[in-house]
Structure 1
């Protein structure tokens, strides 16, 4: 089992998206125009980290002035803090290889994208997500907050370079996994020991209910779509729901394991259930405020009649819905310990 986990982790960390990057016509100052740049974008990486090598390729054709680099796909500015693999899974209904992107060095769309100062912004975003995930898993983020500067630098460099062994050397000290289903029920004695003990974070298998950090990206496509490759491209980010919704697992009599389907029914009952109360019947924790997004509008009560799940992708894989959810969480999570799930939902025209 340990060998299988190790192999899965290495495949996730070694995963990449072939990119063909074109310089936007407005930024071209040389004739003939430069050829596109071909590279591999790490699935767990971020587009701004590719800027140095991309800029070097196009340097002879760029106009003078201050660079404000950003990327576009079919007219959509790409969010720099979303991992490359997630962007690819979400925006390419039919995987496009190579993935053709346009890079801009001027005219940053600040009304659509948050400011990005290159690597520093990406590092800040990553560390912030790691703190959030640590809080969800252990109940506090002190293990990350108390990291030495040297360990923070080493951890970030391991993520940037795709160095799994270097990452594990630092991340194991955070005690964030693996997620386990055994020992999920805390006894009165262990609870008293926890309350009387130190502020050290608990690992997922220490007896507390298991909580998995999940980020869901819900994209609407035509309800009558027969082939997913015919889905219309995403025209703006308002048509994509970006949801942080931790999944809590408690011991339930008669259940051997939680399936991916059950977890997603609980996380997104408005899309997976024909009955608004179906998820709560499956798991009483579904009605808990921790697993419910307060931003849901009153209109969502009728959403189940208008939507149907078309496709689920995690790390580029269309998974069997009967697979154990904790296997997915343990083996397909990103380095910030979030599980990123892309959901394609068929919607009726209003």
Structure 2
């Protein structure tokens, strides 16, 4: 239970600057310092950020969005995932820029505030349920009160735990009980889980020390919903700060693929999961010339905004994601340089069932960031 608690309480220190084109006062306002939850979403910080900068904004309609080094940040990706993906060498505090004008509609899909974030989250939950259970009826049939309580448990941790560190800000605090509320409601969805092979192996060793028997680890067969973010770089590097900055989302591939954990005599590891998630890296051809498969995340979010009450789109996405690719030997022209999950750089030998049971986001997806060195 400790690991999920740490995931829920994980946070990124943000230093948020108002874009210079929207500063109308002298001196310009100092940046806002916020402790943003990893599992939250940047637009949910708007009620804290807007009052702080409101006195210096030009007249007009506010449409909040953020950028990092000029790259617009996609609002439907959890804050912690954005940080892991775009800051290989962790930058603390993370310096990002907030805008209230000039929404980049050619790069970001529209965000109508909290409602857009909410329905994007619910749609992800439906998709995860379909992958895990073969249908999303339990999510579709949630009562209105349960749906609101589930969403508020995520939204409140994003707002109540965000804390300004300057005199103009409203102090925030940790929201106790949100994790318990989330677990209470999400347990009603009866989403399939997998047995923790690490715990099973520990139990096996303990039993072997008492009675000399060979007990195989018992792991349930199940699918784990995974969102994979792959950053491909052509220049080799020794230190993380040498990785080129991402200046376009075209340099990042999104992949939605389930990982199926099967009953086997040996432990199914993170390395085994990567063979399923990235079969392109186990082929004798450059990743640069391969279009990574799977469901496109932005299409999924756009579809969720078009029709949030139907599960047809979710089922189509789930069916496509459940097609299991074949894994082959590692490519000589590509190399995995970095893997991050919830800010952790796990060893490839770790049991994947432990990762799946402890590092999921509230939408029941495992968000994995990978940096791949590819041949020029």
Fold shared, TM-score > 0.5 on shorter chain: yes
2:194–2:220 Cα contact (<8 Å) kept: no
1:269 aligns with 2:279: yes
1:11-50 alignment, distance < 5 Å = 11-50=6-45
Aligned to 1:290: 323
Residues in 2 aligned to 1:302 and 1:116: alpha-carbon distance in whole angstroms: 42
Q: Deviations over 1:42-66 (max 9, x none)?
A: 0000000001111111011001110
1:180–1:210 Cα contact (<8 Å) kept: no
Deviation at 1:348, TM superposition (A): 2.6
Note closer, same or farther for the CA distance 1:251–1:208 as it changes in structure 2 (3 Å cut): closer
Aligned to 1:201: none
Q: Deviations over 1:314-339 (max 9, x none)?
A: 00000011000010010000000000
Residues in 2 aligned to 1:259 and 1:289: alpha-carbon distance in whole angstroms: 19
Aligned to 1:7: 2
Residues in 2 aligned to 1:289 and 1:166: alpha-carbon distance in whole angstroms: 30
Aligned to 2:194: 179
1:160 aligns with 2:127: no
Residues in 2 aligned to 1:348 and 1:56: alpha-carbon distance in whole angstroms: 48
Q: Deviations over 1:224-277 (max 9, x none)?
A: 21112111110100110010001112223x32x200111111210212x2568x
Residues in 1 aligned to 2:71 and 2:250: alpha-carbon distance in whole angstroms: 11
Q: Deviations over 1:159-185 (max 9, x none)?
A: 112310010110001112432278xxx
Instruction: Give the number of aligned pairs.
Output: 299
Note closer, same or farther for the CA distance 1:239–1:302 as it changes in structure 2 (3 Å cut): farther
Q: Deviations over 1:91-137 (max 9, x none)?
A: 00100000000001100000000000110000000000000000000
Deviation at 1:306, TM superposition (A): 2.9
TM (norm. structure 1) is 0.82
Deviation at 1:68, TM superposition (A): 1.4
Aligned to 2:163: none
Residues in 2 aligned to 1:222 and 1:74: alpha-carbon distance in whole angstroms: 20
TM (norm. structure 2) is 0.76
Aligned to 1:342: 369
Aligned to 1:111: 106
What value does the CA root-mean-square deviation take over the aligned residues? Answer: 2.1
Q: Which runs of 5+ in 1 are unaligned?
A: 1-5, 183-206, 277-287, 294-300
1:144 aligns with 2:171: no
Residues in 2 aligned to 1:303 and 1:76: alpha-carbon distance in whole angstroms: 32
Residues in 2 aligned to 1:120 and 1:27: alpha-carbon distance in whole angstroms: 26
Deviation at 1:292, TM superposition (A): 3.5
